[in-house]
């Protein structure tokens, strides 16, 4: 393998996501290795689903899918609360990195979507005092959010709480980059919407479910897929090594040589980086750009009504009112929320009421319905 002086020294940050489960994200994370380096991996994995890939003897055994890594929840167990996140745990991680006490070469997050929700819940549970103390320990975070923390703090203000979490994550990623620590993130997928908040909203496709700082610092964003062929044509099949396909909504590539699509292994990844090849138009043309889902109008009023209701339900899922279309308690919560605005589910068919109902549903992120 070709090797150069600087390309293996510069820290990298990357995002791997998939539509669905079982496409190889966790294996990709815990197997990360730079050429000629023995990695020291720290994994943040609240579910501990990666335990089946942990090597028992401290040596990587790729043929058995066993790799060496430490669990964050073990290393920082004294700062955790029965395995749950605390402001002290996050502050200690940040301090260790900034003061060069962090002994690891790579920080692995599996998965980011879950971590984001856990950090939001951590601040809500900790309240104003805990949020203030944590923000003061991260460079610039308290200064940016001082007005909210000191004068307007409410645990029900999800927008502002998420804003603080974004600032905390952004500062953590910044210092990792400055200190030469690689950061790799696995996450779920999310819908990307067109004209969200209007009756004409529709799903354009799927992208990585991460807050903006992850995208800001990412050198690459790949969707992993272990399926090849076409389901409609009956040619689909599963494969052992996943394809890495660039995210068409965020086609970032700060590492010259990486291709928009390749069979994903770290050996292949580093060989492409070493080659410093230029992506061709033909390679880009091979990437399918998702088409939008759901037509603006079907011409059938009854069908349009069902689509309008479905959009309300999709919005309710997005903000966490329901966990699925069969979530009976969640549906009751949704009905109660609509009733507060003098609406019923059937009102989705009325263009003048559709936006009113959608805004009521979206308000759930700011003021939770009891």
User: CA 84 to CA 86: how far, in whole Å?
Assistant: 7
Q: How far is CA 339 from CA 148, 344, 348, in A?
A: 31, 6, 13
Contact present, 272 and 259 (Cβ < 8 Å) = yes
- Could you tell me if 289 and 295 are in contact, meaning their C-beta atoms sit under 8 angstroms apart? no
Distance of CA 37 to the CA centre of its chain: 28
Structure tokens at 347: 């009102």
Q: Which domains does the chain have, with CATH numbers?
A: 13-285 (3.40.50), 301-365 (no CATH)
Output the tens digit of pLDDT for each of the chain's 370 residues: 333 333 455 899 999 999 888 889 999 999 999 998 899 999 999 888 899 999 998 899 999 999 999 999 999 999 998 888 999 999 999 999 999 999 999 999 998 999 999 999 999 999 999 999 999 999 999 999 999 999 999 988 888 999 999 999 999 999 999 999 999 999 999 888 877 766 677 788 889 999 999 999 999 999 999 888 777 667 788 888 999 999 989 898 889 899 999 999 999 999 999 988 888 888 888 787 765 444 355 556 677 778 788 888 888 887 888 877 788 888 888 888 888 888 888 888 777 688 788 888 877 753 443 4
Alpha carbons 234 and 228: distance in angstroms, whole number: 11
- Residues near 51 by Cβ (< 8 Å), separated by ≥ 6? none
Query: First and final CA of the chain: distance in angstroms?
Result: 60
């Amino acid at each position: 393998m070709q090797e150069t002086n600087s390309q293996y020294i510069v820290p990298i940050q990357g995002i791997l996501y998939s539509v669905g489960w079982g496409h190889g994200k966790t294996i990709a994370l815990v197997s990360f290795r730079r050429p000629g380096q023995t990695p020291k991996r720290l994994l943040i994995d609240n579910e501990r689903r990666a335990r089946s890939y942990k090597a028992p003897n401290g040596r990587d055994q790729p043929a058995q899918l066993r790799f060496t890594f430490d669990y964050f929840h073990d290393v920082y167990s004294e700062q955790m609360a029965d395995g749950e996140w605390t402001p002290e745990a996050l502050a200690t991680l940040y301090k260790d990195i900034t003061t060069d006490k962090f002994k690891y070469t790579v920080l692995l997050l599996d998965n980011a979507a879950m971590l984001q929700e856990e950090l939001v819940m951590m601040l809500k549970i900790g309240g104003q005092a805990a949020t203030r103390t944590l923000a003061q320990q991260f460079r610039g975070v308290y200064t940016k959010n001082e007005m909210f923390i000191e004068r307007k703090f409410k645990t029900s203000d999800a927008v502002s709480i998420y804003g603080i979490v974004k600032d905390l994550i952004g500062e953590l990623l910044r210092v990792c980059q400055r200190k030469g620590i690689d950061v790799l993130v696995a996450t779920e997928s999310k819908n990307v919407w067109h004209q969200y908040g209007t009756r004409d909203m529709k799903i354009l496709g799927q992208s990585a479910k991460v807050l903006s700082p992850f995208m800001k610092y990412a050198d690459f964003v790949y969707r992993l897929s272990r399926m090849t062929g076409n389901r409609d044509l009956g040619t689909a099949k599963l494969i052992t090594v996943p394809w890495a396909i660039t995210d068409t909504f965020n086609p970032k590539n700060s590492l010259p040589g990486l291709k928009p699509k390749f069979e994903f292994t770290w050996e292949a990844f580093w060989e492409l980086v070493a080659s410093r090849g230029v992506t061709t138009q033909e390679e880009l043309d091979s990437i399918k750009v998702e088409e939008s889902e759901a037509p603006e109008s079907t011409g059938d009023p009854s069908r349009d009504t069902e689509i309008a209701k479905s959009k309300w339900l999709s919005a309710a899922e997005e903000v966490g009112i329901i966990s699925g279309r069969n979530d009976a308690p969640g549906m009751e919560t949704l009905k109660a929320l609509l009733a507060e605005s003098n609406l019923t589910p059937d009102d989705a068919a009325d263009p003048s009421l559709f936006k009113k109902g959608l805004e009521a549903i979206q308000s759930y992120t700011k003021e939770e319905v009891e």
